[in-house]
Structure 1
Amino acid sequence: MPIEIDCKNFSGHLSSINGTQTLRCSKAKVLLAALTCGYDGFFKEFGQNWFKRLLHIGGSVLPYITVKPGSILALDSYYLATDRSESTQGIYYIGQGLTKMFAQEFLAAPVVLHASRCSWKAATGNALKVPHVELKRQEADLFAFGQGAVHVLEAKGRAVKNGSGILSTSAFNNALNEALVQVSAINLVNGVTPASRCACVWTLCTSGIRGDIVDPAGDGVNAIVEENEILRGNYALFFDADDTSFRTDVLRGYSMLPVELKDEPETYIGILTEILSQLRGGRASIQSAISLGRSAATRAAPDPRVEFMDDGTVLCVQHGSKLSGNVEVPFQQEFVQQRISNQASDGVPRSAHDVDNHGEAASEPERIKIYLSNQ
């Protein structure tokens, strides 16, 4: 499900992405990216409420995106029946998810951190500040990390109701200019000049989705964030989820959490178990996580039920689902009912959570079922 994006002003080794490009996309991948990228936002930690956070974001995203004939990813017509105050949050999360997907595919930077985990220092002087919403911070929201590079990104999602697929000139310019100001405000990240500053405007319409991305110069504050905070931000969901909630029998080599959304039964979000083990053991690095995630995604057999990200996260649906474009295909059997060894080749436990010695997964949390039954 390709999305057309128009890229401008990228320089150096990234100049090749200037012009019209195609972002590979699917409804499931938007959901996965939004769940991982959006989970840690708004300067909060959710702890034992991790499952409510999953339902919150999933319930905000899924009603507003659909797959149209011809495999066109588009804004669902349900949006037209909602008030702007209701739909704004969903468009926000979709925009963040699309931005993370862009960072992965075109910038080779799949580890994305929300700026709330950073401290800010003026480009001149020594004053430090921690960003707070009430201070009306004007810096970009997202930092994407790859192997040896960092990128600054701001996502602006805007919806078009008239079916044209084109924002009005004033609406587009307002969104783009606001994003340009925010990414330009970042001078350095951890003392390094960002490889790019991406002002992203995503236009969502019932006729389709498109993106416009511009890379301006930067001059302003310096962002400071430790590597452990970068990893904590990107994988916050998996740090917060209690150990007994993970299952290892859904997708081989992955630790999965159930996300029983109303219209998407047997949906799971997960992380490569080896990465989770390293994270929990304090042995992970950005480089190792990306290397492991990319390697696992490359080796995996293609399946319309499974969407992988290069940071080692995954979303899968075991049966026919709207997430995969309404295609009724049996879930690949090699992914189901498999038990993985508790020991990796290097002797490190593959599972960072408590499974029994036979590799049997713990049952899914009953409170999720109760919470959903009340919705």
Structure 2
Amino acid sequence: MVQPDEFEVWYTAEDFPDSFHKTGRMVFTVEALAHALFVTGRAPQDQAAFGWTSVYEWLHRVALIPAYIRRAPTGRLTRSDLARELDRSEKVGLSYTLGQGMTGIFSQQVISVRFLMHVDRYAARYGIRFAANTRRRADLFGERETGGWVVAEAKGRSGNIDDELKETMRAQKRTIRSVGGEPPALAYACAAHFPQYKGIPDHLKLHAVDPVEDEFEAIDLPVDRNRFALAYYEPFLAALDTGQEEPITDGYQVASFGPFRASIGVLDVVVQRVQQAGQGRLDGLYQDVVELLETHLATARPANRFTDGTFVTTKWQEALNHDDWSAEEGEGFYGWR
């Protein structure tokens, strides 16, 4: 049963290993979506060179949720009437952002990815250069809780997806041959879209593909796990520095962002260790963070607290339940799953 503060999104998984269900149901909170938008952002994290761009980028991205995303009575994720009336370029921007966020949700819930990051953010942070003929590459990479790198491509569409998009997804998600010298354990692509049936728009659906073939021009992504961990947490630390400081809560440092009605928290022990890494004690960071998470994360956690030792809280319930979207028929139509 979907709770009043949760979304429900169904997915289909094509060409995944047999251990994965071909269809499935993801249930998540708006805070989980906001968290996914945070970690999949691409803004560079070198504060000395770029200031607080990562925080401003995240605030821009998450503001799209109360502005355009609505919760149908059954919990399905739909769009406001205003979102459907956006011009083409604005719809593309919304779909792109939602596609990245939903790829983050799928990666965490279905693939069990604890750390996920935009390839360009890591590359920008450490000055990695790619050959001129490798512009087409996957968006995201990360590591599963059970070990093993993953590579993910994110797409978003305001309508149906077609065979051409599926072929593009198949090609792009296999454009990274190795991460840190290791072949990805999984390389998949996700398309979040709002399918239509007989002209009637339905609720959000996710289509994921995981073919085996590598692209001819696939690249190797040089990654060091310690630098990966530092780059992953830097935007969270920037958020703590930028927002309004709040009292430490259950061992989490907390910052709030008033007009956005959102807050971010990070385990204090993780903050301290990452700060030490930023001051030069980089060796052992990744393993130290993993051990801190295993020690300090409660087994039973609220839905807004995540396996990376962070949390997000929002006060968007009124906006999400606002009755400014057209009733969509076919909500119980099983065939689209």
Contact 2:116 2:142 in 1 (8 A): yes
Q: Which residue of 2 aligns with 1:273?
A: 268
Counterparts of 1:285 and 1:324, CA distance in 2 = 39
Deviates more, 1:233-242 or 1:178-187: 233-242
| Partner Cα separation in structure 2 for residue 42 and residue 89 of structure 1 | 22
Matched with 1:237 is 235
Determine which of 3, 6, 15 is the counterpart of 1:9: 15
The aligned counterpart of 2:142 is 144
**Unmatched tracts of structure 2, length 5 or more:** 1-6, 196-200, 323-337
Percent identity reads 24
TM-score (structure 2 length as normaliser): 0.76
1: CA distance between counterparts of 2:136 and 2:85?
A: 32
What TM-score, normalized to structure 1? 0.69
From 140, 150, 163, the equivalent of 1:173 is 163
8 Å Cα contact 2:240/2:253 also seen in 1: no
Aligned to 1:24, the other structure's residue is in SS state strand
User: Could you tell me how far 1:53 is from its partner in structure 2?
Assistant: 2.4
Mapped partners of 1:95, 1:41: distance in 2: 20
Q: Secondary structure at the match of 1:25?
A: strand
Q: 1:289 to 1:177 in 2, by over 3 A?
A: farther
**Aligned residue in 2 for 1:309:** 306
Over the aligned positions, Cα root-mean-square deviation in angstroms equals 3.1
Q: Does 1:116 align with 2:120?
A: yes
Q: Distance in 2 between matches of 1:293 and 1:102?
A: 21
Cα distance in structure 1, aligned partners of 2:249 and 2:41 = 23
How far, CA to CA, are the matches of 2:321 and 2:292 in structure 1? 28
Select the residue among 93, 96, 101 that pairs with 1:92.
96
Match of 1:64 in 2: 68
**CA offset at residue 91 of structure 1?**
1.9
Q: Which runs of 5+ in 1 are unaligned?
A: 120-127, 161-166, 327-375
Note the C-alpha offset of 1:59.
2.3
The alpha-carbon deviation at position 186 of structure 1 amounts to 1.8
Q: Separation in 2 of the partners of 1:188 and 1:136?
A: 14
- Name the stretch that deviates more: 100-109 or 252-261: 252-261
Q: 1:174 to 1:61 in 2, by over 3 A?
A: farther
Structure 2 residue aligned with 1:82: 86
Q: Which residue of the partner structure matches residue 59 of structure 2?
A: 55
CA distance in 2, matches of 1:233, 1:116: 11
Q: Distance in 1 between matches of 2:109 and 2:292?
A: 16
Task: Give the superposition deviation at 1:7.
Answer: 1.0
Q: Of 184, 187, 199, which residue of structure 1 is paired with 2:189?
A: 199
Q: Distance in 2 between matches of 1:242 and 1:105?
A: 26
> For residues 4 and 197 of structure 1, what CA distance do their matches in structure 2 show?
20
What amino acid is the match of 2:297? A
The whole-number CA distance in structure 2 between the counterparts of 1:42 and 1:157 is: 25
Cα 1:260–1:101 shift into 2, 3 Å: same
Q: Does 1:321 align with 2:325?
A: no
Q: CA deviation at 1:85?
A: 1.0
Distance 1:50 1:183, change over 3 A: closer
Distance 1:101 1:280 in 2: 27
Q: CA deviation at 1:272?
A: 1.8
CA offsets 1:23-44 (integer angstroms, 9 cap, x no match): 2223232122102221547999
Match of 1:212 among 207, 210, 220: 207
- CA separation in 1, counterparts of 2:121 and 2:269? 25
Change (3 A) 1:19 1:273: same
Q: Which has the higher contact order (CA 8 A, sep 6+)?
A: 2
Q: Which amino acid aligns with 1:316?
A: T
> How far apart are 1:138 and its partner, in Å?
0.8
Deviations 1:187-242 (A, max 9, x none): 11111111111111111366311111111124322111222332244223224346
How many correspondences in the alignment? 297
1:28 aligns with 2:31: yes
